[in-house]
Structure 1
Amino acid sequence: MAAIYDQLASIYDAWSQADPADSDSVEFYKKLGQSEQGIIVELGVGTGRIALELAVSGKNIIGIDISDNMLGICQDKARELGVSDRIHLITNDIREFDLPEPADLIYLPFRTVGHLLNQNDRLKLFRSVYRNLNVGGRFVFDHYMFSEHWAKSNERKQRLMCVIPCENKKFIYVHDIYLYDYENQIMDCRIIVENVDEVGLVTLKRYIAFSFSWVTIAQIQELINEVGFEVDDMLGEFNGNKWTEQSENQIWVLRKTKK
């Protein structure tokens, strides 16, 4: 996964902002972090879209990511914003990490749990988070509610995600294509990145591919029971609405209540 996001780093912000859930998700985690008085950790911090806003608001935050290129962009942004002293970045796999001291809030935003393709890897994540939380600390993460209807309607279709303006009237076009393995709950994502010159000719075309999983409520509940978390809340939307069977998202607020 490090190699994938090293390739995506330069286009990541524009690509992710094309997702309809992006702005609501970012706002949700910003409010979550701003309300926390203790140690805050963002897993999958990437280019720092959430963490840097928290740092600007005065919070100290630890960010963990597996991609050096993504963290490099985050560090450059922190320097430009004058908050390098409030954000500590660590290159690490989120399945196996250890903090210098326990945290009070660990969050994993923007469906990043989907990069863990099986229950064993997700269990490693949950155990690492639990181990690194103070008693009373929270673990907050989200994922979408998988829609087979949406998947079958959009499978194998090339979707234009964003157009990135460059110098000298040049552009970068980013497209996604999704392929589904319904039995194993795996989506194979093919990202097509095209550099287009000022007269409309494609001067460079590259493909970036990765696999992504969707998880069910029952699978998350299994992990909660295995590790020992308590469910503080379960939301269905980033505006704070409770989860229902019609919800498009599953947003979990878990708490460590004992050692």
Structure 2
Amino acid sequence: MKNILQSLDKEKAKGEMAYAGISAYYERWCSGDPFYEQTKEFYMRVLPTKEGPFLELGIGTGRLARLLIQHQAVEVTGIDVCKEMLAICKTKYEQQKEAGCLGRLFLEQGDMTNLQYFEQFGTIYLPFRTVGHLLTDKHLEAMFQGVYRALKPGGIFLLDHYMFDREWAIQNNNKDLLMYSDNSTRIEDHYNYHFEKGYMDCAIKVNGVVVDQFQFRWCSKDCIGNAAKKVGFSLEVLMGEFDGSAWNEQSGNQIWVWRK
């Protein structure tokens, strides 16, 4: 039992350290993702049509939540395991409050696989492929169970993830990929794919120095869909792109909306 507890503690500590090194560069780093703007436009189009209060899982620096409360008189709770990311989010929110915004933001350090809420939220969302940080089916199921408990009856859960492109992964395996560059800062990703195990090691370099590294899992459509169904969610819609088009075999993304 002691060894098991030590293993869990190490896993928790490792999770809390992820993104600590890249936190100061996070917005610039993310801007290199081809779906960076599309995800923002999608959630800002969809979330205002949903009922609050809202819960954002993996809020990071608060890119989406802060934009939502700027224009909507809603309450958003954001959780993240990384205290460095939350500190940046808090600072940005305090500046935002001083300048004036319509909604309110509450921040908590926590793990999305161990949610402690009960029928508190009208809408929960897990954006920008963050589900890939749940490396096992047990972690995925624990997240879905917590979300289901946290939603009010009839509440909505939104989640997006990519469809794994094996050909692209093979072509870019063990290569430095440029994410951002200006006169003083160059940010690159380096992926080492474990194709047989379904995850990759990701290292993030700033000016050639590794500042952060973590593992990331690509979740299949069936894996996510089955986990949601198992806890009792009813599927509202499955989209394949951020323009709202329906999912098909050629889709690059899987964008889910479930109802409790």
For residues 176-191 of structure 1, the aligned pairs below 5 Å read: 176-191=189-204
Question: C-alpha root-mean-square deviation of aligned residues, in Å?
Answer: 1.6
Find the partner of 1:70 among 72, 85, 89: 85
1:7 is paired with a residue whose SS is coil
| Residues 100 and 75 of structure 1: CA distance in aligned 2, closer, same or farther (over 3 Å) | farther
Find the partner of 1:24 among 25, 38, 54: 38
Residue number in structure 1 paired with 2:217: 213
Does 1:158 pair with 2:158?
Answer: no
Q: Is the 8 A contact 1:51 1:61 kept in 2?
A: yes
What is the alpha-carbon distance in structure 1 between the residues aligned to residue 155 and residue 39 of structure 2?
A: 21
What is the alpha-carbon distance in structure 2 between the residues aligned to residue 114 and residue 66 of structure 1?
A: 14
**Bigger mean CA deviation after superposition, 93-102 or 244-253:** 93-102
What is the alpha-carbon distance in structure 1 between the residues aligned to residue 102 and residue 204 of structure 2?
A: 32
For residues 1-259 of structure 1, the aligned pairs below 5 Å read: 1-58=15-72, 59-82=74-97, 83=101, 86-99=104-117, 102-164=120-182, 171-194=184-207, 205-256=209-260
| Residues 162 and 123 of structure 1: CA distance in aligned 2, closer, same or farther (over 3 Å) | same
Is there any run of 5+ residues in structure 1 with no aligned partner, and where?
166-170, 195-201
Identity of matched residues, %: 38
One-letter code aligned to 2:48: Q
Deviations 1:48-82 (A, max 9, x none): 10000011013221111111111111111111111
Deviations 1:2-59 (A, max 9, x none): 2121211100010011100010001111222211232111110110100000110132
Q: Is the 8 A contact 1:107 1:139 kept in 2?
A: yes
Deviations 1:192-222 (A, max 9, x none): 112xxxxxxx7xx334211100011111122
What is the alpha-carbon distance in structure 1 between the residues aligned to residue 201 and residue 102 of structure 2?
A: 36
- TM-score, normalising length from structure 1? 0.89
Structure 1 moving runs of 4+ over 3 Å: none
Q: Is the 8 A contact 1:231 1:255 kept in 2?
A: yes
Is there any run of 5+ residues in structure 2 with no aligned partner, and where?
1-14
1:179 is paired with a residue whose SS is strand
* TM superposition shift of 1:86: 0.5
What is the alpha-carbon distance in structure 2 between the residues aligned to residue 5 and residue 190 of structure 1?
A: 11
* TM superposition shift of 1:100: 6.9
One-letter code aligned to 1:77: K
Q: Is the 8 A contact 2:132 2:218 kept in 1?
A: yes
1:114 is paired with a residue whose SS is helix
Q: Is the 8 A contact 2:159 2:257 kept in 1?
A: yes
**Bigger mean CA deviation after superposition, 33-42 or 80-89:** 80-89
1:107 is paired with a residue whose SS is strand
**Bigger mean CA deviation after superposition, 77-86 or 219-228:** 77-86
What is the alpha-carbon distance in structure 2 between the residues aligned to residue 61 and residue 192 of structure 1?
A: 32
Q: Is the 8 A contact 1:163 1:172 kept in 2?
A: yes
Q: Is the 8 A contact 1:14 1:164 kept in 2?
A: no
**Bigger mean CA deviation after superposition, 56-65 or 29-38:** 29-38
Q: Is the 8 A contact 1:75 1:84 kept in 2?
A: no
Q: Is the 8 A contact 1:177 1:189 kept in 2?
A: yes
| Residues 220 and 206 of structure 1: CA distance in aligned 2, closer, same or farther (over 3 Å) | closer
